[in-house]
Amino acid sequence: MVNESQNRTKDTSGLLVQIATYNTNLQGVLGLPQDLVDWLAPTLQVSNFLSGGARVPDIVAVGFQELLPLHLGLAGLSKPILDNRHALILSQIERHAPNKEKYSLVAKIANVGVAILVYARDDGVARRISDVQATWTGSGPAFMGNKGAVGIRFRVANEDGGGGGETFTFVDCHLTAHDHNVKARIDDWKHIVSSLLFAPSSGSQPSTLYDSTHLFVLGDMNFRLELPSSHPLYDSIHTPRFSETISDELTRKELRDYDQLTVEKRKGNIFVGLHEGDFWRFKCSYKCKVGTVDQYSTKRIPSWTDRILYATHTDTPEQSSIKNLLYTSVPSYTTSDHKPIVSLLLLPPPSPVPSTGAAQIIPKLPLPSSYHPIPDPNAHLKRYIGRTLDRFIGVIWWIFTLLGAGSGLFGFINFIVGLGAFTWWKGSPNGPPTNGV
């Protein structure tokens, strides 16, 4: 008979991965509180319960959406803010680590306002990481980056040095907004799967995000609650009463069946092969009143727009081998109309390495026989069409914002007024001299 202590040892033999996502509502450096203890404390608490002693995550992934004002993101000016985020996050992770563990940045990448940073623990998994890649794609109009995804992939060698190790892929998404745009969100995901490409895993064809041992997808998916008019709560969805009603966990559990993401995933239209924890256990992450802990705007129906999904190579269609130890929001963050989401995931132990023959094979995710993700042969062209438009529109918008002392609209008006005044002055008798005068 296996005792509890043996079970605990077995459970903790896999890597511990902490994932966090936050739509900062275009706040730039103001979008994240300067102390991340509210983000980390629940993680450390669960780790302590899990292992019988404080255990920090082996890997930490942090994703942002709407990281900075849109015109700055489109103009490609995200680097200073991303660097600021990196310095803050790293300092906070290490400050709150129970044994003062140190972490290294594996990679970071941003495209317009979507960004992801991944860290690994120095005295453990960081020593075995190689083949790091970072990539991006836009799914906005004409493939612009106001919507889309960024991704980071790397390989972790086995502890004994044998075999090909395991591939980790982290994808941060921001999909199309508004209640009625369900099909657009599904199309965004299909575009991301076909165009967020990594180096070939075998042969010469680029690989998709599904070509992984472990896959983590996070971000502002923008799926909403969609109640039928016959539902008892339908008439109250835009009133404070609805916000009070969903404070009850049993009510939220019942409402999960009206979550657009859940509905479309069950149909097989999106996030094929991915699993998720009990999102309904925490209150809706959107649309919150800025400056408040637990109040919602009545302009939108409260919804779980911000999500974390995952898959591993030993999953079945019904169940994941990854243990979701924690999945919650952090209400104390009040500078955005979204709440940050955090999850703590315990991965299964690595598979035994074959002693002969296929020693270099890297385990891959199982997918339904009917689902075949195919790289878009025009993905590279589409990405750079979008990026060219991003930069063109972003720089013009940035110039107008400077002319308008922070307002692009006023800057445009000032430009038009100034252009009109210059044209009038040039054509007036007191204007500049003409040739031959």
Q: Where are the domains of the chain?
A: 4-351+358-377, 379-429
Q: Shortest CA distance to 175 belongs to which of 260, 246, 86, 109?
A: 260
| pLDDT of 415 | 43
At residue 47, φ and ψ (nearest 5 deg) are: -60, -40
Q: Note whether 86 and 105 are within 8 A (CB).
A: yes
State the first-to-last Cα distance of the chain, in angstroms, to the nearest integer.
Answer: 107
Q: Shortest CA distance to 115 belongs to which of 223, 214, 10, 20?
A: 20
| pLDDT of 55 | 78
DSSP letter, residue 176:
-
Separation in Å, CA 167 to CA 154, 164, 312, 319, 321: 6, 9, 10, 20, 16
- Separation of alpha carbons 350 and 335, rounded Å: 40
Q: Where are the beta strands (DSSP E) in 292-420?
A: 306-312, 323-329, 341-346
Per-residue pLDDT tens, the chain, 437 aa: give them.
333 333 333 444 799 999 999 999 977 666 565 566 676 666 666 656 555 566 789 999 999 999 999 989 999 999 999 999 999 899 888 888 888 899 999 999 999 999 999 999 999 999 999 999 999 999 999 999 999 999 999 999 998 776 789 999 999 999 999 999 999 999 999 999 999 999 997 777 899 999 999 999 999 999 999 999 999 999 999 999 998 999 999 999 999 999 999 999 999 999 999 999 999 999 999 999 999 988 999 999 999 999 999 999 999 999 999 999 999 999 988 889 999 999 999 999 987 766 554 557 899 999 999 999 999 999 999 999 999 999 999 999 888 777 664 555 544 444 454 445 445 555 556 656 655 44
Domain 4-351+358-377 in this protein, CATH class: alpha beta
10 Å CB burial of residue 427 (0-12, 13-18, 19+) is: exposed
| pLDDT of 109 | 98
| pLDDT of 4 | 32
Query: In what helix (H) or strand (E) does residue 129 lie, and over which residues does it extend?
Result: strand 129-138
| pLDDT of 429 | 65
